[in-house]
Amino acid sequence: MSNEQGMGKTLLSIRSHFNGLTKTEQKVANFILENAQDIIYHSVTELAERADVGETTVIRFCRKLKFHGFQDFKLSLAQDLVKPSDRLYNEVTEEDDAATLNRKVISMHIETLEQTSELISSDQLEKTIELLTAANHIHFFGVGSSGLTALQAAHSFSRIGKQSFAKTDTHFQAMTAALMHPGDVAVGISISGSTKDTLENLSLAKKAGAKIVVITSNARSPITKLADIELLMVARENPLQGSSLAAKISQLAVIDILNVGVSLKIKDEALKYREITAKSISEKLY
């Protein structure tokens, strides 16, 4: 275990509760104390695997420390560990002028895209393109920042003639998911892979017979257990960096790859529908 000097309140709370934990919960506690800086980037599944315990043990451990769940625990831990400057961009400093900020932020986005290109599986991409090309309907699911990506994805695929939908209200998302059919595809978008609403909606879609594609940055997360196909993108966020533009750019890049791939599969049809949709709004522009 690490020394108490410099510990934040969350780690000190773990120490104070340690003797009252079960043996398996103590395994979780020890792992967190020894790897605190990495834990804020883990999913509950990844932590459980690395600590060699079940996911329910991790949740029970968090609740014994008076947290609502693992995400609540991670947020508290991040507040203890992450410096104020790190909450924005890790490589940016307070001394940077506008020109330096321009270079650093753009470089960060380029690096994220390059890493996503290296990480994403060509085989999985090809399978997804084939699946979306053949789909009767495509429903995109996401909440928060990922919900905005879902809306953009549905818009992009609608422009090439694919029946594509995304809803912002989670109740309507659930109803939509439950009414899906075999031949439909549900695309779940979640950076953490642990968003409850998205997981529940994908479960409903899977039960209804739809194929499931997930876009996430966490290969060891609950959402991947539901997936027929998983597409991994790069977005290393701690709980204080939610809705980062770097992560959104990475998500949108994956969506664009899929959209272009499907467009090439249905080239004539995609061109026809692009022209139709362009004409439909032409009079709304100066």
pLDDT digits (tens, 9 = 90+) for 37-82: 888 888 888 899 999 999 999 999 999 988 988 988 988 888 877 6
Sign of the torsion formed by the C-alpha atoms of 86, 101, 218 and 209:
positive
Highest mean pLDDT among 17-26, 201-210, 213-222, 272-281: 201-210
The CATH number for 9-81, chosen from 1.50.10.10, 3.40.50.1980, 1.10.10.10, 2.60.40.10, is: 1.10.10.10
E-assigned strand segments in the chain: 138-141, 164-165, 185-189, 211-216, 229-232
Three-state DSSP at 272 gives: helix
- Strands 138-141 and 164-165, by their bridges, are parallel
* Segments making up each domain of the chain, as ranges: 9-81, 104-282
| Chain-centre distance for alpha carbon 78 | 18
For residues 275 and 250, give the distance between their C-alpha atoms in angstroms, rounded to a whole number.
28
What's the predicted TM-score (pTM) here? 0.74
pLDDT of residue 79: 80
More confidently predicted of 224 and 283:
224
Q: How far apart are CA 44 and CA 186, in angstroms?
A: 23
Q: Which candidate, 67, 84, 85, places its Cα nearest to that of 76?
A: 67
Res 85 pLDDT > 60? no
Q: Which pLDDT belongs to residue 237?
A: 58
104-282 carries CATH number 3.20.10.10: no
Give the pLDDT confidence of 108-166 residue by residue, as tens digits: 888 888 888 888 889 999 999 999 999 999 999 999 989 999 999 999 999 999 999 99
